[in-house]
Amino acid sequence: MQYVQLTSSCLSDVIGSSGLGRERFEAELKRTKPILEEIRERYADESSSLLHLAEQTDDIVALEPIAARYRDQFDHIVIIGTGGSSLGGQMLCSLAVPGASPRHNQPAFHFLANIDPHSISVMLNRLPQSRTGYLVVSKSGSSVETIAQFLICLEAVKVDVGQVKVAEHFTAITEPGENPLRSIAIKHKIAVLDHDPNIGGRYSALSLVGLLPAMISGLDVRALRAGAASVLRPILMDEEPENIEPALGAAISVGLATDKNVSSTVMMPYADRLENFGLWFRQLWAESLGKDGKGTTPLTARGTVDQHSQLQLYLDGPSDKLFTLIMLSCSGDGPSVEPKLAVDEAIAYLSGKSVGDLMDAGQRATAEVLIRKKRPTRIFQMSCLDEASMGALIMHFILETIIAAHLFGVNPFDQPAVEEVKVLAQEYLLGQGR
């Protein structure tokens, strides 16, 4: 297993009355059995392409020459997309930051997810368009923000390289059928890759939406999917719920929400490379569960940064949060403090210590004090952070979210409330808004 999930400090027999009672926990875990059976059935009858992503390889083979061309031809890669169309790729590319692996000379990535006019203007002025490649991602092909950004960037590239060469700089990803994104791409002879219509944006990190940026950045996406498969495997092997990590997580989350009025869930990784994972999880959890007055509010925090900004609230504020700490083995890692520079008595304890020692001490201390303060806290222990372990984390929380949604009694795959905002925004653009 790529991680160890510790949940005991979420239970009342460890943290007292603020924790979930053992009996209720076991009852929630029992309720996951028909959900797990449904997952097995949907896998067996191939009605869920999401569940088969982890074992696919043919799409990787097809994407390899595209990734190689982008990696060789461009110094900068811009991902145009919002929400799930961007966060999955952003999360994965975080693994390929300089110094995280022996990879060199990879293009720099830029994610154009928001529509702040200042940010777009700065990016267009700063990047050499002749050396910039674009991936334009919209499942529906009609996201107004993405379409607008696409058209603006299309014109910027055309001005720099000319109409004949503009198509070389773009690839569009959208679902089959007619839609604005596909129509624009075809008009300009831009290659279009099919987004699986059965996989929603927030669940698409392991599809080509996340895989293509990851491959361009040099990540081993086969290892990524193998890690994901390792988490799904116990469900397919008909293991009992207590042996299925996503089921344990879902039972804890839903049980605390319904029994203990835990209304927020805090995702707190310590590694910088997992900051975007937190943002990806936030969308996944919020958009999948927040329906019919149900769900819990996902919050993101990051390691020692938020020990100095949010921990006061977490420890001494309202006891209405579940904490998930992702702790990476890091003792001895990184540069160390030169002993001769730590001679002052007040900092002598830093002598010879590495920054990994400091992070390790910080994450262990935070977990211990949260538990001591009787805050429900679960811990993911990871020996390393690589493609396989990232794939495992992604699949864990995809499955945990789906299982939790069923326990709450909501559909994990729709987002009806969001559509009202989209419609009204279009009315404003047309001058019809109130």
Residues annotated as catalytic are: 287, 308, 422
Query: Could you tell me if 247 and 397 are in contact, meaning their C-beta atoms sit under 8 angstroms apart?
Result: no
Distance, in Å, from the CA atom of 341 to the CA atom of 324, rounded to the nearest integer, reads 36
CA neighbor of 151 nearest in space, from 181, 195, 112: 181
Classify 421 in phi/psi space as left (phi over 0), alpha (psi -120 to 50) or beta.
Answer: alpha
Q: Which residues contact 252 (CB under 8 A, 6 or more apart)?
A: 7, 10, 20, 25, 28, 322, 376, 378
Query: Is 78 within 8 Å of 107 (Cβ atoms)?
Result: no
Q: Closest by alpha carbon to 90, among 74, 114, 122? A: 114
Backbone angles phi, psi at 415, to 5 degrees: -155, 65
CA 51 to chain CA centroid, nearest Å: 17
CB 296 within 8 A of CB 265: yes
What is the residue type of 433?
G
Can you say how many angstroms the Cα of residue 243 is from the centroid of all Cα atoms in its chain?
Answer: 24
Nearest alpha-carbon partner for 203 in 41, 413, 356:
413
The Cα–Cα gap between 408 and 406 comes to 5
End-to-end CA distance of the chain: 54
| Amino acid type, 196 | D
**What span, in angstroms and rounded, lies between the C-alpha atoms of 31 and 36?**
9
Residue 336 corresponds to which amino acid? S
Report the C-alpha gap between 4 and 11 in whole angstroms: 17
CA dihedral (20, 24, 29, 32) positive or negative: negative
Cβ-contact 268, 325 below 8 angstroms: yes
DSSP run (H or E) holding 108: strand 108-112
